[in-house]
Chains A and B, each alone.
Chain A
Amino acid sequence: MEAGELEAEKHARYILSVEKRKDDLESIVIEHLRMNGAYWGLTTLDLLHQLGAVDRNEVVSWVLKCQHESGGFGGNVGHDAHILYTLSAVQVLALLDNLDILDADKVSSYVTGLQNEDGSFSGDEWGEIDTRFSYCAICCLSLLHRMDKINVAKAVSYVVSCKNLDGGFGCVPGAESHAGQIFCCVGALAITGSLHHVDKDLLGWWLCERQVKSGGLNGRPEKLPDVCYSWWVLSSLIMIDRDKEKGGISDRPDDAVDVFHTYFGVAGLSLLEYPGVKPIDPAYALPVETVNGIFLEKRRVASSQ
């Protein structure tokens, strides 16, 4: 591990400043995915034991403003509903221990409506299909205790149909393996108790090959490393229990240039059991504490009246 401590407070201040900053070019360009940003930022804060710095009421009321009639959430106020932002919204509320503010049946009906005949999921009404959306649907419904509302067997078989020659997964059947897609597919299989479909030795090998000479990780062969791949590769390795080599990975969250990369750097460090960072669950991508609270305690999610 690199010398020098993880400057938790510095990272926390950075994230809080990003949250406030809305008018510069960088912020406006990514305005439409603020819901993702909220998830990345708040999870990072929680991992660094700094979630208390956030105005929870403000965040929750903004999240709810992004919800549509359909039950789905958009990336920001005024933006269309999409499964990506629906998952992020649910994750944010889970972090803030406020899932009970949702009408879980309404949100799940939005997600259920996006499942197709072959088990795949569309991102929204316009029909783009991608295994990222399978992960979003499964993770979201699991957190809401509504997995029985989709056809899990078909969802699983669709994900499995995206398995490739190298044991990895792509975005649709026939698409090349990519670390991000692999995280989504392995995560979906983990949450549905279906990891026996994964050739763990083969995929584990491919994932370990992502490590380049500098110690960083790339997303697929012959590509450049990036800190976000550290998360996707590491969490996948951990879910399939092939992470013995992780000691050799170095990470530098100080080089992160945005909330996206800060989150992935800190989450990666969490998986490496870095001191001072809370443990993160590799499948739900939320702190273990949050996940345990949702699944090991009695149900606290309200159902529709």
Chain B
Amino acid sequence: MHGRPRKTAKAEDLVASAAKAEKLRQLQSQLLRNHNDRIYNKEALEICSKLLEVNPEVYTAWNYRKLAVQSNLESCGDHEVVQSIVNQELKIAEIALRRNPKCYGAWQHRKWILNLGSDKADFDQEFRLLDQLLKADSRNFHGWNHRRFVVALKNVKEEEELNFTTEKINTNFSNYSAWHNRSVILSHLMKQNAPGFDPREKVLTEELEFIHQALFTDPDDQSGWFYHLWLLDQIIARDSPFLISSWPAHGTEVILSSNTSVKDFQHFESTEYAQYIRALPIVLYFNQAVKGVNSTTVTVESIFTENVDLIWKPLSASNSVEAHCWVTYLNISERDCNSLEPYSINVSFGNTQGLVSSDGCPLSYACQCEFSLKISPYSPGSCSKESNVNMVHWDNENFSRSEFLQIRPFLMSYQRQKIIANSELLISEWCSETLSREIMLFRKLISEINCKIAKLTLGRLLIARNFILSRGIQLTKNRTHFEETLQLYDDLIRLDPSHIGYYKDQRSLVLMDQVTSDEESLRKHCWLPKELSLTSAGQSVCLRLNKLSLTRIGFVERLLWVNMLDLSHNELQSVEGLEAMQLLSHLNLSHNKLSSMTALEPLRPMISLQALDISYNEIGAHSIDTKRYQCASSPLSHPAGTCGDVQGFEDFDPEEVKLYWDAILIFKHLHLTQLDVVGNPILNEPFSSLMIRLVPSLQWLDGRPAQQS
């Protein structure tokens, strides 16, 4: 079907074509008749062979052949007959493959015959055929697949196959299929700790040597670069998971006041609480995605909730049972609010089995966090659900600086934990040395040639090195090179528009790393909002990250303490990462590039969110929703155990559901008091009225009172 240009037909061509068509039609209808009537004699098989010679794509003909083989073998199991059948079938498949080396039916038939008569087939011939084919077209994946099949069938040693790839690569460095195959074989060998391929550091160092040759011979060829990237990934492979951040932080005192942003439980589907109570989140953030966080693996000692009753949730925008970030909530009842004494809360884990990484690796060491909770006097008037909330404004006049702003308590959430076991440095010497060598090499390369992918690789290496250095518990001062990395991505944005989205995302992450890496840089972005009163930490702080050309958010583990965040005037299409910010009560996402309601999925678990500004985005502007399948709660995708019944839309008009199912899913469980949506094409009368019905707590919509009395 591919690569056939349209031509106008000449008269004699038409006649010839009509004759061919008639012949083919006869062959096909005869084949179908024989198939239907189960006729497998010599004549019928001849017809089938003729057909497959002309049109090897007719899959039913290959099925017919298999049935014929089965039937003929049944009637006669004589060794010579079987041998001749095997040869015959292999011959027919070969004829078809010479005509079309990509014919699925022919390859499958060959495989079926080889499985059937593996003792009767000539495997030298098989390898010869494959060699011919891969010489003619070294990228024919059918050939490579068949080769892997035959190799497995004949128990050929993986080292031999590795040599085959080396041979292919040495013939032509630009052989993506060979590099791919190499990565598959090496993965197996390293995983099995096969002799000669252990330790993996040795293998990886040798592979780096090998790939350097290819890269420096022809830097513009893609094949080697993907392989190099894969090697990089193997080098910085993560081992045991460990905690990198928590909220509250170890050794801190949390103050909950009566009009704090930490609110009540209504988003839980389970019990309805008659009294007005509070939920205190406890957030744990690990260096990689983990699973098995529950009340057996994590113990929380407090007077508020029995440990066994605590439910831990993964905080991620997907359906995965694994996440970097996990949360549970302690119930704080009215009764508890009357005490003036601070309460002590202790969180410990790592003592029992079960908390593991995706690969099943248990925690590096046991861990314990202790903090205290103080509750300001409960005053009946001020904590009623129905009390009027003032509108919050985000413009500059509302913020002020303070030289005395205490950032240190906030940074503690990232830096400190009490560790029971010895905290050895978790950085592998070999890993950081290898990365440093690679960085030097690529710096040299890009000084000599202007190669976009070399720059990208250097960028990735610098980010990788920062990443592994951050495995050390203390924030080290050596983590510089921000400017160099930012410059590399700025260059790439200019040089290579075909990947501009990727470069902007990486650049945004580097920028976020830089901004949040130490007290001094964080202080530059912290402001005091004049309108907000005390928060749980005793001081209201707004983190302002506007106008930074951010396309993505990162390093949220350092921002778990934030309750007011301004991300306006950026280029955000995604707000993934925000779901971890359980204390966030005021969020400004205006003037970004959010293109759908489904893009707001990460906001669903944010129990503290009160004021949300999504004005001047692109919601409703696009007919294609690229977040449709990123949205974990979407009714269009069905994780295991569900079968696609529509749920949760009972209270809504079917037309409303079709238009606004995503808005309904996102906003149903939030307790917003303030919402700004103006400047999005989705905004109209039906939408506004839906929002007001959907969010009963809403008091301000686009600057005007929401509920009419």
A, B assembled together: yes
Question: Measuring CB to CB, which residues of chain A are less than 8 angstroms from any residue of chain B?
Answer: 23-25, 28-33, 74-75, 78-80, 82, 124, 126-128, 142, 145-148, 152-153, 156, 164-166, 170-172, 174-178, 190-196, 201-202, 204-206, 208-209, 211, 220-224, 226, 228, 238-239, 241-245, 248, 257-258, 260-261, 270-271, 273, 279-283, 288, 291-292, 295-299
Q: How far is the CA of A29 from the CA of B35 in the complex (A)?
A: 18
Contacts of A75 in B (CB 8 A): 59-60
Contacts A196-B320, A223-B139: A28 and B638 contacting too (C-beta < 8 A)?
Answer: no
The 12 listed contacts between A and B (C-beta, < 8 Å) are: A25-B18, A32-B58, A78-B35, A165-B184, A166-B229, A175-B148, A191-B637, A205-B499, A223-B139, A245-B499, A280-B624, A291-B636
A206 to chain B, nearest CB (A): 7
- Whether A164 lies near B318 (C-beta < 8 A) is no
Q: How far is the CA of A221 from the CA of B176 in the complex (A)?
A: 7
- With an 8 A cutoff between CB atoms, is B230 at the interface? yes
CB contact between B645 and one of A79, A208, A257, A299 (< 8 Å): that residue: A299
- With an 8 A cutoff between CB atoms, is B630 at the interface? yes
CB contact between A28 and one of B24, B63, B316, B641 (< 8 Å): that residue: B24
New A-B contacts (8) at CB < 8 Å, excluding given A273-B624, A279-B623, A295-B635: A24-B18, A29-B57, A32-B58, A80-B63, A146-B643, A175-B148, A176-B176, A193-B318
Contacts of A257 in B (CB 8 A): 4-6
- Whether A205 lies near B2 (C-beta < 8 A) is no
B576 to chain A, nearest CB (A): 9
List which B152-192 residues lie within 8 A (CB) of chain A.
174, 176-177, 179-181, 183-184
A-B contact count (CB 8 A): 232
Q: How far is the CA of A270 from the CA of B629 in the complex (A)?
A: 18
- Whether A242 lies near B502 (C-beta < 8 A) is yes
Residue of B nearest to A258 (CB): B1
- With an 8 A cutoff between CB atoms, is B71 at the interface? no
- Whether A208 lies near B498 (C-beta < 8 A) is yes
Q: How far is the CA of A275 from the CA of B263 in the complex (A)?
A: 46
- Whether A295 lies near B644 (C-beta < 8 A) is yes
Contacts of B641 in A (CB 8 A): 148, 152
List which B646-677 residues lie within 8 A (CB) of chain A.
646, 649, 654, 657-658, 661
Q: How far is the CA of A299 from the CA of B184 in the complex (A)?
A: 44
Most buried by A among B505, B627, B643, B661: B643
- Whether A166 lies near B141 (C-beta < 8 A) is no
Q: How far is the CA of A223 from the CA of B140 in the complex (A)?
A: 11
- With an 8 A cutoff between CB atoms, is B435 at the interface? no
Contacts of A165 in B (CB 8 A): 179-180, 183-184, 226-227, 229-230
Question: Measuring CB to CB, which residues of chain B are less than 8 angstroms from any residue of chain A?
Answer: 1-6, 17-18, 20-21, 24-25, 28, 32, 35-36, 55, 57-60, 62-63, 66, 104, 108, 112, 139, 141, 144-145, 148, 174, 176-177, 179-181, 183-184, 222-223, 226-227, 229-230, 316, 318-320, 322, 497-502, 505, 573-574, 622-624, 626-630, 632, 634-646, 649, 654, 657-658, 661
Contacts of B184 in A (CB 8 A): 164-165, 174
Contacts A178-B141, A195-B629: A164 and B1 contacting too (C-beta < 8 A)?
Answer: no
Contacts of A32 in B (CB 8 A): 28, 57-60
- Whether A176 lies near B144 (C-beta < 8 A) is yes
Q: How far is the CA of A201 from the CA of B55 in the complex (A)?
A: 41
Contacts of A176 in B (CB 8 A): 141, 144, 176-177, 180-181
CB contact between B180 and one of A25, A177, A270 (< 8 Å): that residue: A177
- Whether A245 lies near B497 (C-beta < 8 A) is yes
- Whether A25 lies near B658 (C-beta < 8 A) is no
Contacts of A224 in B (CB 8 A): 3
Residue of B nearest to A224 (CB): B3
Contacts A126-B63, A194-B639, A221-B222: A273 and B499 contacting too (C-beta < 8 A)?
Answer: no
Q: How far is the CA of A48 from the CA of B642 in the complex (A)?
A: 34
Q: How far is the CA of A80 from the CA of B64 in the complex (A)?
A: 9
A254 to chain B, nearest CB (A): 10
Residue of A nearest to B643 (CB): A148
Q: How far is the CA of A211 from the CA of B180 in the complex (A)?
A: 20
- Whether B319 lies near A193 (C-beta < 8 A) is yes
CB contact between A205 and one of B36, B174, B502, B574 (< 8 Å): that residue: B502
Q: How far is the CA of A80 from the CA of B31 in the complex (A)?
A: 12
Contacts A82-B59, A142-B644: A171 and B658 contacting too (C-beta < 8 A)?
Answer: no
Q: How far is the CA of A33 from the CA of B57 in the complex (A)?
A: 9
Contacts A25-B21, A257-B5: A241 and B104 contacting too (C-beta < 8 A)?
Answer: no
Residue of A nearest to B177 (CB): A176
Most buried by B among A128, A271, A283: A128
Contacts of A174 in B (CB 8 A): 145, 148, 181, 184
- Whether A222 lies near B629 (C-beta < 8 A) is no
Most buried by A among B20, B112, B145, B223: B145
Contacts of A31 in B (CB 8 A): 28
The 6 closest A-B pairs by CB, nearest first: A244-B501, A196-B318, A165-B230, A193-B639, A152-B640, A190-B629
Q: How far is the CA of A223 from the CA of B222 in the complex (A)?
A: 12
B68 to chain A, nearest CB (A): 13
Contacts of B108 in A (CB 8 A): 126, 128
Contacts A224-B3, A239-B629, A273-B623: A25 and B24 contacting too (C-beta < 8 A)?
Answer: yes
Q: How far is the CA of A205 from the CA of B496 in the complex (A)?
A: 12
Residue of B nearest to A277 (CB): B623
Q: How far is the CA of A147 from the CA of B635 in the complex (A)?
A: 13
CB contact between B658 and one of A127, A148, A242, A292 (< 8 Å): that residue: A292
- Whether B654 lies near A297 (C-beta < 8 A) is yes
- Whether A170 lies near B141 (C-beta < 8 A) is yes
- Whether A145 lies near B644 (C-beta < 8 A) is yes
- Whether B174 lies near A222 (C-beta < 8 A) is yes
Contacts of B628 in A (CB 8 A): 239, 281-283
- Whether A191 lies near B319 (C-beta < 8 A) is no
- Whether A78 lies near B32 (C-beta < 8 A) is yes
Q: How far is the CA of A23 from the CA of B59 in the complex (A)?
A: 20
- Whether A238 lies near B626 (C-beta < 8 A) is yes
Contacts of A25 in B (CB 8 A): 17-18, 20-21, 24
